Amino acid sequence: MPTKLSEAIIRRAVEACPSGMVMTDRTGKIVLVNAEVERLFGYSREELLDHSVDMLVPEGARAGHAARRNTFAAWPEARRMGIGRDLYGRRKDGTQFPIEIGLNPIQTDDGLLILSAITDLTERKAAEERFRRVVENSPIAKMMTDQNGTIMLVNIATERLLGYRRDELIGKSIEILVPPRIRGGHINFRKAFDAHPEVRLMGKSRDLSIVRKDGTELPVEIGLNPIQMADGMMVLSAIVDISERQEAIRNLAAQREELQRSNADLEQFAYVASHDLQEPLRMVATYAELLAERYQGNLDERADKYIKYTVDGARRMQQLIKELLEYSRVSSNAKVPIQIESALVVEYAIQALKVAIDESGADVAHDKLPAVRADQAQLGQVFQNLLGNAIKFHGDRPPRIRICAEQRNGKCVFRVEDNGIGIDKQYADRVFQMFQRLHERGQYEGNGIGLAIVKKIVERHGGHIWFESEPGCGTTFYFTIPSA
């Protein structure tokens, strides 16, 4: 029921209100305004009092305004004007500005009075327009829905993505874009989101599809952003087409599977070929050595040289096949990683290289080393190869080698430092490739396969290997192994 209040209380309340306040009688005559109305409309209160409120209404809306005013007077109740349509006020200079009006009926001794609270929406409308432009110009498909799931706004990217014109979407339920088989469940998802609105990514843990106008389904990811608007909570959805991404993932998976199969075939071929080559090569090497022993010096100089070449070639080939077999066994003979003490593995590697260490006068030391998860035999190969290289490529000075490690992000980073001849940075990738030698044959022993084996073992453990070096100033190899 309308409330009876004294005129003095009403005047004080109206004047103190930060919104524009206009009080009219049931005929629409203005009986009271506050200072905010003067500021909003540019009239003094003397110019407004005892005049019709229609002077604040744009000319084109005045005819209908009188009828609406009479209807309100017949059924007075607190209400908002302008729901579903834009309202404008008219200033003294004739300009118009967007407004929001709240109507409140008040019963006084002189009869019914209507108190209108007027809010200038210029800044809000400008902000909404900026928001609309940002959404419209976004390269990502975006749409806004209300709490009932009704589509209120779409941008041009949405039209391109889904094949609908925006007038075919605005005012429709969002469910028209949901595959029929899950529409019932989608309503429940939407209600649950409305109950607990938060920024959220949909489709991260499950497949989502959206239905285009032609009925085809498109795989998507959807980002949900709740936004509090004047008309209540809205949800801005950003829709990303992930069909190309899914196709790329499928292709990558197929390529990975093919690469794994190819690598397995290659390793099997290398193992079988190397194994089968050993026996005939052993025969060639044996008879070549017998020829050398029996006929050395009995034939001419050229024959002696040819026999020597044959023996050297056969021996190098035997060593090459041995190393090739060792490379293939990195995968075929691999064991499940277990927790081991890396310090013990290093000690075993030092012991295995004792003769070379003693002959070169090498000083090999290591810090306190952590426990790791690894195949013990293969980790031993890694240290033995890196230590062997440090001893081999020591230059004119006795080798000084130090092994240390640190924990970093769940992995152990090992460092093997030496004072050897160093490696030029231009060979950063080449040194880890099979059969790649950086020096002429005869200058240093080996076939250039040791670091390839090290790299394969480290990567098999999910690690990474690299080095830092300056020619003539030594080299530091780094590699990572999972911590225990």
Q: What is the pLDDT of residue 274?
A: 61
Residues 168 and 44 placed together within one structural domain of the fold: no
Which of 422 and 159 is assigned the larger pLDDT? Answer: 159
198/127 Cα distance (integer angstroms) = 22
Residues 207 and 316 placed together within one structural domain of the fold: no
Confidence check: pLDDT of 114 > 50: yes
**Helix, strand, or coil (residue 462):** coil
Which of 362 and 394 is assigned the larger pLDDT? Answer: 362
Task: Assign 444 a pLDDT band (cuts: 50, 70, 90).
Answer: very low
Q: What is the pLDDT of residue 239?
A: 92
Residues 93 and 148 placed together within one structural domain of the fold: no
Last residue of a domain, one of 331, 363, 398: 331
Which of 273 and 301 is assigned the larger pLDDT? Answer: 301
Segment 143-155 shows an average pLDDT of 91
Q: What is the pLDDT of residue 436?
A: 55
**Rounded percentage of the chain residues whose pLDDT exceeds 70:** 86
Confidence check: pLDDT of 441 > 60: no
CATH code of the domain covering residue 421? 3.30.565.10
Residues 113 and 164 placed together within one structural domain of the fold: no
Output the CA angle 151-154-159, nearest 5 degrees. 115
Q: What is the pLDDT of residue 299?
A: 76
Name the domain count of the chain: 4
**Orientation of helix 301-332 relative to helix 243-295, angle to 10°:** 140
Which region among 4-13, 159-168, 174-183 has the lowest average model confidence (pLDDT)? 4-13
Residues 360 and 405 placed together within one structural domain of the fold: yes
**How is 363-422 classified by DSSP, letter by letter?**
EEEE----EEEE-HHHHHHHHHHHHHHHHHT-TTSPPEEEEEEEEETTEEEEEEE--SS-
CATH code of the domain covering residue 217? 3.30.450.20
Which of 55 and 5 is assigned the larger pLDDT? Answer: 55
Which of 273 and 91 is assigned the larger pLDDT? Answer: 91
Q: What is the pLDDT of residue 334?
A: 66
Dihedral (Cα; 57, 58, 62, 66), 10-degree rounding: -20
The neighbour count for residue 381, using CB atoms within 10 Å, is 21
Residues 348 and 476 placed together within one structural domain of the fold: yes
166 lies in which domain range? Answer: 125-241
Q: Give Dmax (Cα) for the chain.
A: 144
**Rounded percentage of the chain residues whose pLDDT exceeds 90:** 29
CATH code of the domain covering residue 297? 1.10.287
Residues 28 and 141 placed together within one structural domain of the fold: no
26: closest CA among 111, 138, 129?
A: 111
Q: Please give the mean pLDDT across all residues of the chain.
A: 84
Task: Assign 2 a pLDDT band (cuts: 50, 70, 90).
Answer: very low
Confidence check: pLDDT of 218 > 70: yes
Residues 186 and 320 placed together within one structural domain of the fold: no
Cβ density class 14-30: b for 16+ within 10 Å, e for less: beeeebbbbbbbbebeb
Residue 245: partners with Cβ closer than 8 Å, 6 or more residues away: none
Which region among 72-81, 135-144, 247-256 has the lowest average model confidence (pLDDT)? 72-81
320/445 Cα distance (integer angstroms) = 12
Chain segment 240-274, per-residue pLDDT in tens: 998 888 888 889 988 888 887 777 766 676 666 66
Q: What is the pLDDT of residue 267?
A: 67
Task: Assign 151 a pLDDT band (cuts: 50, 70, 90).
Answer: very high
Chain segment 179-197, per-residue pLDDT in tens: 988 888 888 888 888 888 8
Segment 396-420 shows an average pLDDT of 89
Last residue of a domain, one of 331, 355, 375: 331
Which of 10 and 239 is assigned the larger pLDDT? Answer: 239
392/387 Cα distance (integer angstroms) = 9
Q: What is the pLDDT of residue 22?
A: 93
Segment 282-308 shows an average pLDDT of 80
Residues 339 and 276 placed together within one structural domain of the fold: no
Last residue of a domain, one of 331, 355, 390: 331
Segment 126-133 shows an average pLDDT of 85
Confidence check: pLDDT of 54 > 80: yes
Torsion sign across C-alpha atoms 359, 469, 450, 339: positive
Confidence check: pLDDT of 68 > 60: yes
Residues 301 and 340 placed together within one structural domain of the fold: no
Residues 21 and 76 placed together within one structural domain of the fold: yes
Residues 349 and 403 placed together within one structural domain of the fold: yes
Q: What is the pLDDT of residue 439?
A: 46
Segment 394-405 shows an average pLDDT of 87
